[in-house]
């Protein structure tokens, strides 16, 4: 039996589970760095790697708390601004 490509339906899906296909750590860093700069908080690449990457979701929260951002609403605002910038 001969298969005709035009008669064979196929669907391909590519999923990037953040970092699988594209190394996005640098862009997360740049997004956070630009947002925090507006709050006069300096984020270096070393601090980002030590905090955010080593502690995952709690790393940035702890970094913000050490920088004096302790109110839940303020932490949420920084995260929302970063999410908008990152997309």
**DSSP assignment of 6-45:** GG----------SSSSS--HHHHHHHHHHHHHTTT----H
Q: At residue 22, does pLDDT exceed 80?
A: no
- Domains of the chain, by residue range, sit at 5-86
Instruction: Give the tens place of pLDDT for each residue, 49-75.
Output: 887 666 666 788 888 888 899 899 999
pLDDT at 24: 81
User: How far apart are the C-alpha atoms of 27 and 16, rounded to whole Å?
Assistant: 15
Is-above-0.85 flag for pTM? no
Q: Which residue has better confidence, 26 or 3?
A: 26
pLDDT at 21: 73
pLDDT at 7: 62
């Amino acid at each position: 039996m001969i298969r005709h490509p035009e008669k064979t339906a196929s669907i391909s899906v590519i999923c990037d589970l953040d970092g699988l296909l594209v190394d996005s750590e640098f862009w997360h860093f740049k997004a956070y760095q630009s947002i925090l700069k507006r709050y006069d908080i300096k984020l270096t690449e070393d601090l980002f790697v030590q905090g955010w990457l080593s502690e995952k979701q709690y790393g940035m929260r702890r970094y913000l708390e050490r920088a004096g951002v302790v109110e839940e609403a303020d932490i949420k605002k920084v995260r929302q601004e970063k999410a908008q910038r990152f997309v």
